[in-house]
Structure 1
């Protein structure tokens, strides 16, 4: 009975602690920087959906994106990986299979880090997709 009481108390304490933790909203846990911060540079790498094309999300998540993130060093604020589910318009095809996004502080530092590694980055495409990505570089406004 006493063991049951102790276990119940530990479970309750764990639940209270878990739910009382303040979750950061839109912030990078690593550097506590808000990714909606005006002036950040956002690099979106979008993989268009086309019938018969492939995309290995596991490889992309565990190998490709960490490799590229490593090239970016301290300029990198955060990166995200999204898996396309559907179009925003009913009965329309999926526009993108996946989108990888890097948030960086400086575009020139990003370009300087990517330039000497572009061949390695491109060569790795064959390990996870047969789709040529569309890349958009933008500035966070709000």
Structure 2
């Protein structure tokens, strides 16, 4: 299993429409990916480590897939539509990373 991590940096002046993201973009992502998407977790930034400091990221999206290849196969068909929706909710340039899920007890 792999996880696709999408992090939206919280830089001064960044626009992020959480309502649109939750009501429109993420339901679209789930619908377009279909069964290829095994799980999705969203995290909305609250604060940084220092008291009163802003979060480093406005939003973090973590999507689980069987493999990078499974993601890439789906993305080749839906990427233009899903990626084209990004300007509707943010002007942030997301940081994107694939990670291998490591079991730990």
TM above 0.5, one fold?
A: yes
Q: Which has the higher helix share?
A: 1
Q: Which has the larger radius of gyration?
A: 1
TM (norm. structure 1) is 0.66
How far is 1:91 from its partner?
Answer: 5.0
Structure 1: where are the runs of 5+ without partners?
A: 1-39
Work out the CA distance in 2 between the residues paired with 1:88 and 1:112.
38
Aligned partner of residue 59 in structure 1, secondary structure? helix
Question: Over aligned residue pairs, what C-alpha RMSD do you find?
Answer: 1.5
Structure 2: where are the runs of 5+ without partners?
A: none
For the 8 Å contact 1:45–1:100, the answer to whether it is kept is yes
Q: Who is 1:55 aligned against? A: 16
Counting matched residue pairs gives 103
How far is 1:111 from its partner?
Answer: 0.7
Q: Who is 2:98 aligned against? A: 137
For the 8 Å contact 1:75–1:106, the answer to whether it is kept is no
Q: Which has the higher strand share?
A: 2
* Structure with larger RCO (C-alpha < 8 A, sep 6+): 2
TM (norm. structure 2) is 0.87
